[in-house]
Amino acid sequence: MATGETGFSDVMYDLVSVQYHALKAGHDYGQYVRDARNAGYDDVASFFEDVMAEDSRRAARCHELLRELSGKEDTGSTA
């Protein structure tokens, strides 16, 4: 399996990257929800809550996949 400059497989790196960005975005969306609610746009706030829930599910799925792959010899650190 190919490894990138990090010493980890590209697949592991990609999953960690998607998980990080989903979690980071989820954090940011909390502010977006507050902004929309404060402006009186409950429909927009609901949209942001939906997006936040989707990213939460995405991050959780990445976590599951990372756990599954971490037991495989060719996906761990090459360092």
Which backbone phi and psi does 7 adopt, to 5 degrees?
90, 0
| Residue 28 CA, distance from chain mean position | 12
Q: Is the dihedral of CA 43, 25, 23, 57 positive or negative?
A: positive
pLDDT at 75 over 60: no
Backbone conformation region of residue 6, classed left if phi is above 0, alpha if psi is from -120 to 50, else beta: alpha
pTM: 0.74
pLDDT at 1: 46
pLDDT at 74 over 70: no
pLDDT at 79: 44
63 and 19 in contact (C-beta within 8 Å)? yes
pLDDT at 9: 77
Region 57-64 average pLDDT = 97
